[in-house]
Structure 1
Amino acid sequence: MNFFLKTLVAGAISLASAGFAVAGDQIVVATDTNFKPFSYRNEDGNYVGYDVDIWNEIGKRIGVEYELRPMDFNGIIPGIQSGNIDVAVAAMSITSKREEVIDFSYPYYKAGITIMVRADEDGVKELGDLSGKVIATKQGTSTVPFLKENTEAGKVAPKEVKEFPNITDAFLELRAGGADAVMFDLPPLQDYAATVGKDAVKLVGPLYLGHFYGIGMPKGSELRKKINVALLEMQESGKLNELHNKWFGSDSR
């Protein structure tokens, strides 16, 4: 958890306070349930995952009733801006562009982007090797501007970038031969390669665009301070490490 403490010491985001919208006595908490192991529906039909556990713990600590609302990632930021969503716990990267339109909590997870190819692919070792190839990813995520910027900089020249509403569709496209690689956040790729895609796909290359996930909310939300305090309490008590160990098997960040 060293990155967490260093981030706080280096410069915490100001804790502005204002009102927030509620649905009756409940706040609306959005999550992207197509992002295993952060949030997904299990075989029993229940929503589970690291993000779900994180928010369940925060909700108890700050004493709010909430409706967990599954939705496509693309609709989350517009939903926050419109006031239809009070909180979003959706493996959302903290970026300067997003910070212009919504507020974020302190970071709770360090991530990055990597490459997944079919197991028999030996010609792709890094980003530049994807020139002339078809790359699949999830629309509205950090990978899209990353690929655009690197294409404009001449670091890669993909034949096509296919954007899908769900990352599982990108996985299927790779397996079916419609894409040469999937480029996306490490955790869901790592999970897929170790489970459903075992022996059929593999991860290659370094970790690109190291970034942090934060909890999103409307500008000026009074929930921000409460959520940040809860995250700090969870870090200090070891609860964050406990949840990380549950879903990722290690307390390393």
Structure 2
Amino acid sequence: MLLTRLVQAAIAALALVASPVSAQQVLKVGSTPTGVPFTFLDTKTNSIQGIMVDLITEIGKDAGFAVQIEPMQFSTLIAALTSNKIDIISAAMFITPARKEVIDFSEPFYAYGEGLLVPKSDSKNYTSQQDLKGEVVGAQVGTAFVDALKKTGLFSEVKAYDTIPDILRDVNTGRLKAGFADYPILAYNLKQGGFPEARIVESYKPSTVGAVGIGVRKGDAELLKKINASLAKLKANGTTTKILDKWGLKAQGT
């Protein structure tokens, strides 16, 4: 009798091990610690937070996968994706023809252009890059803005900065004549009050306007299909608007 019970228990245990357990797929998502409000390092929780983190988390919930956020510099995101270190890019990354040759993007999520940052002591109402001809300006390495600025041939130098806060600091202290970066990120940083001697030039009209999308590896067609389907659903049910509202941005057509 005891032997029978032991055999039955062993069979039950084997059946439990052998039975398929529907463990949720976990995908690694590359995000940056310096793109507030899109992505940033929350020092209270020591985790990456922001619009794009909220968005990919909600997409994952709808599409049936969990996300593991991997913090990294913006300029390393695409290389990390193509080398399989991460599965998805969810950051303030423009969908550009050059990037689309290397990775695939979801449908657009949010569109904007570059903002112009100058010291508060500079009260000139710049309207275009031409107004800064011959000056030393700065932009973040790896962004669409830095290459566009260099191609104009207008400036005596285009300094490449690792992060947007680095640009803000140099403009704030007067070490840099002007900086160009994602308008929403500049506006959010200035709103926090950490750079009181810098200002956004509201009269400036951006020359590089793009749309942010979620990046996946070439060939990950099934994942891209899931992301696009969930993104469309979240736009339709108002979830994306709520995410943008949470971080102080207005919903817009893209």
TM-score normalized with structure 1 length: 0.84
CA separation in 2, counterparts of 1:250 and 1:136?
Answer: 27
- The yes-or-no answer on 1:192 pairing with 2:205 is no
Name 2:63's counterpart in structure 1: 62
Q: After the TM superposition, which segments of 4 or more aligned residues of structure 1 sit over 6 Å from their partners?
A: none
Aligned-residue offset at 1:42: 2.2
Question: Are residue 223 (structure 1) and residue 223 (structure 2) matched?
Answer: yes
Gaps of 5+ in 1: 1-23, 152-156
What's the counterpart of residue 208 of structure 2? 209
Q: Does 1:103 align with 2:104?
A: yes
Find the aligned partners of 2:25 and 2:165 in 1 and give their Cα distance.
Answer: 35
- Map 1:109-148; keep pairs closer than 5 Å: 109-123=110-124, 125=126, 126-148=128-150
Q: Distance in 2 between matches of 1:55 and 1:65?
A: 9
Instruction: Give the aligned residue type for 1:215.
Output: I
- The alignment partner of 1:189 has SS state of helix
C-alpha change, 1:75 and 1:232, in structure 2 (3 Å) is same
Task: Give the SS at the match of 1:27.
Answer: strand
Q: Deviations over 1:122-169 (max 9, x none)?
A: 246031122222212110101111102222xxxxx2222111111111
1:70-109 superposed matches below 5 A: 70-109=71-110
SS of residue in 1 equivalent to 2:206: strand
Report if the CA contact (8 A) 1:124-1:130 is conserved: no
Amino acid in structure 1 at the alignment position of 2:108: P
- Would you say the 8 A contact 1:136–1:173 is kept in 2? no
Separation (CA, whole Å) in 2 of partners of 1:124 and 1:130: 11
| Preserved CA contact (<8 Å) 1:39 1:47 | yes
Answer yes or no: is the 8 Å Cα contact 2:115–2:200 preserved in 1: yes
Secondary structure of the residue aligned to 1:135 is: strand
**Identity percentage of aligned residues:** 31
Contact 2:168 2:195 in 1 (8 A): no
Corresponding residue for residue 154 of structure 1: none
Query: How far did 1:192 drift?
Result: 1.9
Structure 1 match to 2:13: none
Total equivalences in the alignment: 225
- Asked whether the 8 Å contact 2:172–2:196 carries over to 1, the reply is no
Once residues 64 and 25 of structure 2 are traced to their aligned partners in structure 1, the CA distance between those partners, rounded to angstroms, is 12
Residue segments in structure 2 that go unaligned for 5+ positions in a row: 1-23
CA RMSD of the aligned region, Å?
Answer: 1.7
Q: 1:149 aligned to 2:160?
A: no
1:199 to 1:176, Cα distance in 2 relative to 1, 3 A: closer
Distance change in 2, residues 1:244/1:83 (3 Å)? same
Please tell me whether residue 241 in structure 1 is matched to residue 238 in structure 2.
no
Please identify the structure whose Cα radius of gyration is greater: 2
Aligned-partner Cα distance in 1 for 2:90–2:252: 21
Q: For the Cα contact (< 8 Å) 2:168–2:198, is it kept in 1?
A: no
- Checking the alignment, whether the CA contact within 8 Å between 2:57 and 2:66 is kept in structure 1 is no
Does structure 2 retain, via aligned residues, the 8 Å contact 1:58–1:230? yes
Residues 113 and 210, structure 2, Cα contact 8 Å, conserved in 1: yes
Shift of 1:198: 5.8
By relative contact order (CA 8 Å, sep 6+), the higher-ranking structure is 1
Does the 8 Å contact 1:114/1:208 carry over to 2? no
